[in-house]
Structure 1
């Protein structure tokens, strides 16, 4: 049981690092406007609203990489051959993603992909099971 809990934590941490790295690249491509403060939610909403398609799509790419990594790491660490740890990672990130989409102005395509992308934890799970 402890191994499964650690597997979920490791999957979430590894995925978070991947998402952070891709979103950092995204912010280099599409920097914040001058004067925006970290706690300025209205300024951040305006930034997201004005973000071009590629800037928003890169967030989905980050989620996709994070989902694959979370599923892979959680499965490898849990060592039980079951998708449970991977699915829990996906659910954790799905909840955070839905929260972000409700507080930020995101288009419908982002909602659809933002929800569906977390099924890729099962892809990471399958990759972790592949012994070849």
Structure 2
């Protein structure tokens, strides 16, 4: 049981670190103007509505990579085929994305894809470890 909890915590922490790395890269590629007042919702909405698709795709790439790593580490640490663990982690990541959707404006297509990406990605990461270990 401790190993299962530890695997989910480490997997989630790794996913979050991966998301932060992607966001940092994104911030460097698409910097917000220093004059942007985040308390001014109209200005923030205008800023995000005018961002190129590359900004949103980089965020999604970070989410997919982080979720894959999460599922992979869950399998590696827990040493369990229990799919409930990556599903739980994927649900937690999805809920964190929902909170993010309420805090900053996002395009509708991004919200839809964002809601669908975490659980399949954590499950795929979980399965990838299984494929790797069977191949050796």
With normalisation by structure 2, the TM-score equals 0.86
Q: Give the structure with higher Rg (CA).
A: 2
Shift in alpha-carbon separation, 1:99–1:41, aligned structure 2, 3 A: farther
Question: Gaps (5+ residues) in structure 2?
Answer: none
Partner secondary structure for residue 106 of structure 1: coil
| Partner residue, 1:6 | 6
Q: Number of aligned residue pairs: give it.
A: 131
After superposition, the CA RMSD in angstroms is 1.8
Matched-pair contact (CA < 8 Å) for 1:18–1:66: yes
Matched-pair contact (CA < 8 Å) for 2:49–2:107: no
CA distance in 2, matches of 1:6, 1:46: 41
Question: Gaps (5+ residues) in structure 1?
Answer: none
Residue 64 of structure 1 and its aligned partner are, at CA, apart by 0.6
| Partner residue, 2:51 | 51
| Partner residue, 2:32 | 32
CA distance in 1, matches of 2:15, 2:53: 23
Runs of 4+ in 1 over 6 A off after TM superposition: none
Partner secondary structure for residue 58 of structure 2: helix
Residue 53 of structure 1 and its aligned partner are, at CA, apart by 1.1
